[in-house]
Chains A and B, each alone.
Chain A
């Protein structure tokens, strides 16, 4: 883990407001599925890093897929091949890998880390993806398992949420991995409890330091946390992946 100036290999827009950037960095070789990097803007007036999940890695190369959510990510979207990009990572704890048949459930910009995860998991995979509208990364993910789609506008797959898609396509996996908006994770947590199978959830929160020092990005935990002896786990350091039973959403 270190902060460094890496180099953009290439970048493309893969859906409305969604960008895919390959970065050349040896930090890629340390990364596990579910970890993230902090990406710093070139404008010192925007002093906090943007935490972005790692989509996949190759030797010395790391890919992020992110949505333009403000001026910082808008700046990143204008980077071209050979531009410098300032990053810190890999950060946080990734998904614990199980050899069992797995269900991957992701919504929106929670989908990218599922690609690295799908590559790393050895069992059969059912991959449930939810979008507002036009899908992205679904073709790449389909190489690793059965992809089930849901879109809010019904443009493709089941109209509605990932839970609507699951209701229409009964699943057989024995462990769930999920990343997406809180209401989705809440529903996944309930579903996993009803099915009596373990679930791993990747959470997101506004961060400042990204390394566990500032206590900006906590989530409520069922057990007392080791850092502060309260019920607040640090998403950046103790997560971003948590057992569903570990967190209160």
Chain B
């Protein structure tokens, strides 16, 4: 039984990754799951310098999901390389670093700093809805997306995944723009811009007013977008959005994803990633599937 998948020349022992921002750099979840079991650890977004993030409350639960407006708090690339990457080096699991910035130059600075490291791939966050400058501003316009993709590709030593926002009119157009500018892969979806109001206090649930909606509530939309994007481009797609179990993961793969990521459900159950991996293996045995790659885009 083969569970290995390959994206831009990088092979993964299985198609299950962590979704950026839900797993830190794996240090906290190491207590629950063997990081060596994962297809890849996708780190929380890292910028050129430390970012303080937004005011609290930063999270709120909604039906079947949650809102977050962390605001990309992160320690900056220096400490990240020294501490987080050193930690991840102890494991044979692939490492994908999520990169964020306010300007193209800031993204490029991080990408250049990572050039000499053992990082396997870069995921470029052009889709965070919770910061005022950068991030989503690059992910909602085909020209801006194309420009930043090209600028990063020029400097990157590792394959580049562009992480796309669902907060767009046509995900296919965004996917095509990323591919045309040289992206090696795309990942989607990031969170939906959303809002919750505490009706008893007559206040926004989040200090940032809006936040990104994730969790099982968004899964059917994510599956549709992965389907559309994967049919618009020929580069691999990493699918995510509310994956809670192996059935959800298989659904994303059948929609066209080469790999999948577990996000908000890590908060519900810290063992979710490994349960999804084991569940995919059980599904393959049960359905007499020899190669997980046969699931990709099979519908």
Contact = CB atoms under 8 A, between A and B. Distances in A.
Interface stretch (A56-64, A100-108, A110-118, A209-217): A209-217
Contacts of A213: 22-24, 27-29, 44, 266
Interface string A181-223: 0000000000000000000000001111111111111110000
The secondary structure that dominates the B interface is loop
Contacts of B70: 214-216
Given A40-B268, A46-B61, A217-B56, A230 B215 contact: no
Interface string B1-42: 000000000000000000001111001110110000000000
The secondary structure that dominates the A interface is loop
Interface string B59-99: 11101111010100111100100000000000000000000
A1 interface: yes
B229 interface: no
Interface string B89-128: 0000000000000000000000000000000000000000
A179 B53 CA distance: 26
A44 B248 CA distance: 15
Max count, chain B CB within 10 A of own CB: residue among A1, A205, A213: A213
A208 B21 CA distance: 12
Contacts of A218: 53, 56, 58, 73
A167 interface: no
Interface residues of B, number: 42
Contacts of A208: 59, 66, 68, 264, 267
Contacts of B53: 215, 218, 228, 230, 232
Contacts of B297: none
A215 B264 contact: no
Contacts of A228: 50-53, 73-75
A3 B75 contact: no
Nearest to A237: B28
A48 interface: yes
Interface residues of A, number: 34
Interface string A127-150: 000000000000000000000000
Interface in A222-249: 227-232, 237
B56 A219 contact: yes
B279 interface: no
A215 B27 CA distance: 13
Interface of A: 1-3, 40, 44-49, 72, 88, 205-219, 227-232, 237
Interface of B: 21-24, 27-29, 31-32, 44, 50-53, 56-61, 63-66, 68, 70, 73-76, 79, 215-216, 244, 264-271
Question: What are the nearest 6 A-B pairs in CB distance?
Answer: A213-B24, A216-B59, A230-B52, A213-B28, A47-B268, A229-B50
15 contacts: A3-B269, A3-B270, A46-B63, A47-B65, A47-B264, A47-B267, A48-B268, A207-B59, A213-B28, A214-B22, A214-B24, A216-B56, A228-B53, A228-B74, A232-B53
Given A47-B64, A213-B24, A232-B53, 18 more contacts: A40-B268, A44-B216, A44-B268, A206-B56, A206-B58, A206-B60, A207-B59, A208-B264, A211-B29, A211-B270, A213-B27, A214-B68, A215-B58, A218-B53, A228-B52, A228-B75, A229-B76, A230-B53
